[in-house]
Amino acid sequence: MHLLMIETEARPSSMIRTEDRSGVRIITLDNPPVNALSLKLCGELFPIVEAASADPSVRIVVFTGAKPGFFSGGADINDFSQSPPPDAKSIRDVIAAIDKSDKTYVAAIDGNALGGGCELALACDYRVASATSKLGLPEILLGLIPGAGGTQRLPRLLANRTKIVEYGLQGALQFMLTGQSKDAKQAKAMGLLDDVAEGPVVDAAITFAEAKIADRRPKCRISEMTVKTGALPFLSMQAHSMIPMTVAKGGQAAHALVDALEAAVDLDFKFGIAREQRIFETLALSQQSLSYRHLFFAERELSKIPGMADATATEIEKAAVVGAGTMGVGIAVNFANAKIPVSVIDINPEQVERGKKFLADMYGDQVKKKRMTEDEAKARIEGVSFVTDYAAIADSDIVVEAVFESMAVKKDVFGALDKAVKPEAILATNTSTLDIDAIAQSTSRPAQVIGTHFFAPANIMQLLEVVRGKDSSPQAIATSMKLGRTLKKKGVLSGNAFGFIGNRMFFDLSREANYLIEEGALPQQVDKAMKDFGFALGPFATFDLSGLDVFHKINLEAPSTGARQSKIADRLYELGRYGQKTGAGFYRYDPAVGKGREAIVDPAVEAIIHEESAKLGIMRRVISDEEIVARCVYALANQGAVLLGDGVALRPGDIDIVWIYGYGFPPFRGGPMWYADTVGVKTVYAQMLEWKGRHGNHWEPAPLMKAVAESGQSFATYKA
C-alpha cells in the first residue's frame, strides 16, 4: 500500500513528534536515552492522545520510538519516589485516554518495549515489532509489579490467545515473575505480539492496522476481554507456594503479583486496575522495593570516578592469565565468554591439564544443558590457549596474574612480565590481600599495575574489585573498569587497603561471629540466623567453603586491629579441619550426605567451643537471633564507614554492591550501608556505644558513623 504523507506537524515539544499520513497519526516518542515515560513526557503525551481521539480525520494512531533501539524503557524510576503534583499526568492517564478512544491504536516497536513501554503497547489494539525488538515487564526486579495495567492486560491477552486458558495465565505469570524480556519471535509465539515486521516497522504497523479495519476488526481492546477459568484457586495456590513463603525473604512483590493476577481473573477490568494500582503503590513504598531501587542506582554510579573525566580506556583485544589454578582458569573463562582471546601460563603441567579438563567439562555441561551449541562451546575452548613461554604473551593488552598468594612469587612474576610484555600493557594482580604498591615496585611501569580482584568461582561470581595502587594511572583504572563491564561484572573501585573493601569488612563479621559462639551461640545458630536474615550462606559455612587454612594464613598477615583474636578457628585448623575440602571444619561433611557439601553439626566442635569459652572465663548465655544479626551486620556497616572515611570506598552504594554480588548479602535489604540507613544510623550508633561499654573498644564507632549519626542524616544522603 502506498501511503502518502500529507501533513507534517512539529509540535512545540522536544519529547514527542506527530506526523499525519492519510488518516494515520504517528506519535513518535523522542526522550533519549531510553524514551522513559516520565511524568514530563506523559504530560505532553496525554493531550496529544486526546487530540488524536477528537480528530475526525484520524482513523489510526501509531506509537513508535524516535530511534531504533528503544520503543520505551518504561517509567522513570525517579518518579516513584516523588509525590507528583496533583494535575500531573502519568502513563496510567495516557493509557486510560487510549482505552476511551474509538480510534485504532497500534504500537510500532523497533527495539526495547519494557515496563511501562510494554504496558503502553498492551493498551493498543495491535502490536507490531521488528525482529530485533524485545518486550518485557521487569518491574519485579525492582521489587514492584507492573503498575500501568500490565498485570490486568497481559493475562487477559494471553489467556485469549491460547487454546488452554490456564497456559495463557501461567505464561503471563511466568513472564512477569522472571522479569526477563522475550525477543520478537518468542513474544509473537506467546501471543503478546500480533506481527513481526520485515521492513520499516511503522509502515508494517499501518499496513497491519489497515488490514484489520478492512476486516471489520478496527478495535481489539484487551480491557474488554474476559478470562474464564475454574482452575484459578489451584493455579494461584501453586504459584504462591513456588515463591519464598515469607515476605521477609524478598518475595513481597512476587506474592503481590500473584494477587494482582488473581484480580485480573476474578474482577471486572476497572476493579482489577484499581487493585493493581493499590498493590503497586504499597510496593513502591516498601523497604524491599526501595532497596532494589537503591541497588539499581548504585550500579549505575559505579563507573563514575572523580578525577577520571579525561581518562580513556584502552581496548582489550588480547589477554593473558598467569596461573592455571582455581582462579586463573575461571578468569580465563571470562575472557573466552567475552570472545577475547586469552593465553594461560602455568609452571606446573598438571595444573595445565586440570585447567583443560575444567574447560572441557564446564563447556560440555553448558552444551548438555542446551545453553550453548557445540560450535559455540568449541569456539570458546579454542579461545583459551595454554602456553609455556612469556614470549607468547608479549602482545597482550592485559595480563592478569593469579599465582600463589605469596609476595615473593608475585614479585618474581611481575618482574618477568615487565620484561616480556609490551610496555603499554596493563599488568593486573588477582591478589586477595597483598599490597598492590609493593607488587608494582617490582616493575618499571607502576602506573600500569593494578589489582583486579575476582571472586571464586571466577566464572560465575559477578563482583570484580578494581584496586588502584598509589601509582595506578587513570587510563589503567578506566581500562580495568571497562574490562569489568565487558566481562559482565560489577566493577567496584577500591583503594589499596588490606583486604580491600569486601574482605576487610568480612574480617569484622568473622570477629563478631566467633565472639558470638564464645559467648553462648553455636555455629549452626549463627548461620541459621544469618540465613533467615537473607544471607545466601552463614559465616561458618563460608569459612568451611573457602577453607580454614586460607583464613589462617590471611590472619597471620593481617594488620592487628587491637581486637582479641578468637582461638576456635585456629584449634580446628591445627586438627587439620580445613572445611569441606578435608571433610570437617566448623561442621562435619560426609560424602554420602549432599555430595559431601551438606553441613552436619559436630559435637566435637561444640566441645572445643565450650572449652574456649571456659578458658576466657565467659559464662555462656542464650543469645537471640536478633542480637546475632545486629552484631554481624552493624560490624559490617562500621567497617564500611571506616573505609568510606579513609577514601578506600568511594560511595556507600559501592560497598553495598560489593556485599550483594560478592558475599551473598540479601539484595532486598540493599546492602550493609543501606541496611544501616533503614535501621537508622543514630540507632546503630547508640547500640554500638552500648556494646562498646559491654564488649570492648572494637565497638568504637568509626568517625564517619559518629558524624552521620550526630547529623541525623543517612549514609546515602550524608553531606558534611
What is the DSSP code (8-state) at residue 392?
Answer: G
Q: Closer to ligand NAD by CB, 194 or 346: give it.
A: 346
Q: Closer to ligand NAD by CB, 457 or 703: give it.
A: 457
Enumerate the β-bridge partners of residue 464: 454, 491
Taking CA atoms, 346 is separated from 328, 358, 403, 555, in Å, by 9, 15, 8, 27
Alpha-carbon gap, residue 196 to 132, rounded angstroms: 9
Greatest Cα-to-Cα distance within the chain, rounded to the nearest angstrom = 92
Enumerate the β-bridge partners of residue 129: 109, 196
The neighbour count for residue 626, using CB atoms within 10 Å, is 10
The CB-of-280 to ligand NAD minimum distance in angstroms stands at 41
| Helical axes 116-123 vs 150-161, angle rounded to 10° | 50
The CB-of-596 to ligand NAD minimum distance in angstroms stands at 18
The CB-of-288 to ligand NAD minimum distance in angstroms stands at 30
The CB-of-410 to ligand NAD minimum distance in angstroms stands at 7
Q: Closer to ligand NAD by CB, 101 or 546: give it.
A: 546
Instruction: Give CA angle at 348 (342, 350), nearest 5°.
Output: 95
Q: Closer to ligand NAD by CB, 345 or 529: give it.
A: 345
Enumerate the β-bridge partners of residue 494: 467, 649
The CB-of-518 to ligand NAD minimum distance in angstroms stands at 27
The CB-of-534 to ligand NAD minimum distance in angstroms stands at 23
Q: Closer to ligand NAD by CB, 454 or 543: give it.
A: 454
Alpha-carbon gap, residue 697 to 706, rounded angstroms: 15
Q: Closer to ligand NAD by CB, 62 or 352: give it.
A: 352
C-alpha cell at position 628: 546475632
Does residue number 332 form part of the binding site for ligand NAD (CB under 6 A)? no
Alpha-carbon gap, residue 546 to 540, rounded angstroms: 10
What is the DSSP code (8-state) at residue 60?
Answer: E
Candidate residues 347, 360, 536, 604; the one interacting with ligand NAD per rule CB under 6 A: 347
Q: Cβ-count burial of 464 within 10 angstroms (0-12 exposed, 13-18 middle, 19+ buried)?
A: buried
Nearest to 117 by CA among 93, 83, 146: 146
Q: Closer to ligand NAD by CB, 181 or 351: give it.
A: 351
Q: Is the dihedral of CA 546, 547, 550, 552 positive or negative?
A: positive
Q: Which stretch binds ligand NAD (CB under 6 A): 28-36, 243-251, 396-404, 641-649?
A: 396-404
Q: Which stretch binds ligand NAD (CB under 6 A): 139-147, 400-408, 481-489, 594-602?
A: 400-408
- Restricting to residues 350-369, name those near ligand NAD by CB under 6 A: 351
CB 621 within 8 A of CB 450: no
The CB-of-428 to ligand NAD minimum distance in angstroms stands at 11
Candidate residues 218, 323, 446, 579; the one interacting with ligand NAD per rule CB under 6 A: 323
Does residue number 344 form part of the binding site for ligand NAD (CB under 6 A)? no
The CB-of-135 to ligand NAD minimum distance in angstroms stands at 39
Alpha-carbon gap, residue 639 to 642, rounded angstroms: 5
Is residue 626 annotated as part of the catalytic site, yes or no? no
Is residue 612 annotated as part of the catalytic site, yes or no? no
C-alpha cell at position 376: 559455540
Determine phi and psi for 221, rounding to 5 degrees.
Answer: -80, 125
Alpha-carbon gap, residue 107 to 153, rounded angstroms: 15
Does residue number 389 form part of the binding site for ligand NAD (CB under 6 A)? no
Place of cell 506526523: 19
Alpha-carbon gap, residue 154 to 265, rounded angstroms: 11
Enumerate the β-bridge partners of residue 16: 29
Q: Closer to ligand NAD by CB, 546 or 638: give it.
A: 546
Q: Which stretch binds ligand NAD (CB under 6 A): 71-79, 117-125, 438-446, 453-461?
A: 453-461
Candidate residues 430, 442, 472, 496; the one interacting with ligand NAD per rule CB under 6 A: 430
Q: Closer to ligand NAD by CB, 72 or 472: give it.
A: 472
Active-site annotation holder among 119, 512, 518, 612: 119
- Interface size with ligand NAD, residues (CB under 6 A): 25
Does residue number 324 form part of the binding site for ligand NAD (CB under 6 A)? yes
C-alpha cell at position 275: 487493585
C-alpha cell at position 324: 592455571
CB 226 within 8 A of CB 156: yes
C-alpha cell at position 261: 493476577
C-alpha cell at position 379: 569456539
Does residue number 541 form part of the binding site for ligand NAD (CB under 6 A)? no
Does residue number 502 form part of the binding site for ligand NAD (CB under 6 A)? no
Alpha-carbon gap, residue 686 to 684, rounded angstroms: 6
| Helical axes 150-161 vs 252-266, angle rounded to 10° | 60
Q: Which stretch binds ligand NAD (CB under 6 A): 211-219, 341-349, 577-585, 641-649?
A: 341-349
C-alpha cell at position 423: 610496555
The CB-of-643 to ligand NAD minimum distance in angstroms stands at 18
SS3 653: helix
C-alpha cell at position 569: 578457628
Q: Closer to ligand NAD by CB, 515 or 540: give it.
A: 540
Candidate residues 26, 201, 261, 322; the one interacting with ligand NAD per rule CB under 6 A: 322
Does residue number 428 form part of the binding site for ligand NAD (CB under 6 A)? no
Candidate residues 94, 319, 403, 630; the one interacting with ligand NAD per rule CB under 6 A: 403
Does residue number 346 form part of the binding site for ligand NAD (CB under 6 A)? yes
Candidate residues 77, 225, 409, 447; the one interacting with ligand NAD per rule CB under 6 A: 409
Active-site annotation holder among 139, 262, 465, 518: 139
Q: Which stretch binds ligand NAD (CB under 6 A): 51-59, 104-112, 402-410, 691-699?
A: 402-410
The CB-of-438 to ligand NAD minimum distance in angstroms stands at 14
Q: Is the peptide bond before 233 cis (omega within 30 degrees of 0)?
A: no
Q: Closer to ligand NAD by CB, 151 or 546: give it.
A: 546
Does residue number 345 form part of the binding site for ligand NAD (CB under 6 A)? yes
C-alpha cell at position 450: 593494578
Does residue number 405 form part of the binding site for ligand NAD (CB under 6 A)? yes
- Restricting to residues 659-718, name those near ligand NAD by CB under 6 A: none
Candidate residues 62, 372, 402, 655; the one interacting with ligand NAD per rule CB under 6 A: 402
Does residue number 419 form part of the binding site for ligand NAD (CB under 6 A)? no
- Rounded to the nearest angstrom, the gap between the alpha carbon of residue 373 and the centroid of all alpha carbons in its chain is 26
The residues carrying an active-site annotation are 119, 139
Give me the residues that bind ligand NAD (CB under 6 A), please: 322-328, 345-348, 351, 402-405, 409, 413, 430-432, 454-456, 546
